[in-house]
Amino acid sequence: MLSSQIEKQLNNQIESEAASSQYYLAMASYAEVQGYNGVANFMYKHSDEERQHMLKLVKFVNERGGHAIVPALKQPPATFKDIPTMFQNLLDHEIAITQKINELVSTTLAEKDYSTHNFLQWYVSEQLEEEALARTIMDKLKLIGNDNGGLYMFDRDIAGFKVTSANDDLG
């Protein structure tokens, strides 16, 4: 059985993952209308991943005798300054999500809830991968700057970046 505190924090995390999915969907749509189809595709996939992260939490909370609450969400931004800024927003967002996961992990240790602690290890690994990928992308974008030719190539090459590899055991 989940403690009320852990149930509350897991429900907050459900909201964060849902908001991430919406945020990246907004990025996908923005990139698509700007003509960056490779970037749009990457963001559509990333948005789907975040929905899976949310669903995995929903199922866990309900299986453990809690009640997963589907949250209301704020509208994400419709436009972004430019493609590099959008990816910096993504990296900053993932860093904030990692912080939330770490706080959750810390609560499970304080409450000696080892099964939730074990469940959260998947998210710990996932955050490591997502942050590393976002940093790799930012390094490339810093080299390119706002050079249109460079961004054109980046849009083509981003199809080769894998959004995540911790997705195989989603169930």
Q: Where on the chain is the footprint of ligand FEO (CB under 6 A)?
A: 17, 20, 50, 53, 94, 97, 130
For helices 37-63 and 83-110, what crossing angle results, to 10°?
10
- 7 vs 94, beta carbon nearer ligand FEO: 94
Distance of CA 92 to the CA centre of its chain: 11
Least distance to ligand FEO from the beta carbon of 130, Å? Answer: 5
Least distance to ligand FEO from the beta carbon of 13, Å? Answer: 9
- 53 vs 117, beta carbon nearer ligand FEO: 53
- 122 vs 152, beta carbon nearer ligand FEO: 122
Distance separating alpha carbons of residues 126 and 136, to the nearest angstrom: 15
- 7 vs 50, beta carbon nearer ligand FEO: 50
Least distance to ligand FEO from the beta carbon of 50, Å? Answer: 5
- 111 vs 131, beta carbon nearer ligand FEO: 131
Least distance to ligand FEO from the beta carbon of 59, Å? Answer: 15
Q: Which of 68, 72, 96 is nearest to 9 (CA)?
A: 68
* Residue number, nearest CB to ligand FEO: 53
Q: Which of 133, 132, 27, 38 is nearest to 81 (CA)?
A: 27
Distance separating alpha carbons of residues 7 and 12, to the nearest angstrom: 9
Least distance to ligand FEO from the beta carbon of 76, Å? Answer: 14
3-state helix, strand, coil in the chain (%, to 5): 75, 0, 25
Q: CB atoms < 10 A from the CB of 74, how many?
A: 8
